[in-house]
Amino acid sequence: MITVHHLENSRSQRVLWLLEELGLPYEVRRHARDAKTMLAPPELRRVHPLGKSPVITDGAETVAETGAIVEYLLDLAEAKRGAPRLRPAPGTPARRRFTYWLHYAEGSAMPPLVLALVFSRVARAPMPFFVRPVARAIAAGAMSSYIQPQIDLHLDYMEAELGRSTWFAGDAFSAADIQMSFPLEAAAARGGLDASRPHLAGFLERIHARAAYRRALDAGGPYAMPG
Helices assigned H by DSSP within 125-174: 132-142, 148-162
Query: Which CATH number goes with the domain that contains 126?
Result: 1.20.1050.10
Q: How far apart are CA 143 and CA 94, in angstroms?
A: 35
C-beta neighbour count of 57 within 10 angstroms: 17
- The total of structural domains in the chain comes to 2
Structural domain of 193: 93-210
Question: 167-200 pLDDT, tens per residue?
Answer: 999 999 999 999 999 999 999 998 878 889 999 9
Tens digit of pLDDT for each residue in 122-160?
A: 777 676 766 677 778 887 788 889 999 999 999 999 999
Cα dihedral 173, 174, 180, 181 sign: positive
pLDDT band at 217 (very low <50, low <70, confident <90, very high): very high
pLDDT for the residue numbered 51: 81
- Provide DSSP, 94-122: HHHHHHHHHHHIIIIIHHHHHHHHHHHHH
CA–CA gap between residue 178 and residue 185 (Å, rounded): 11
Say yes or no: 116 and 82 in one domain: no
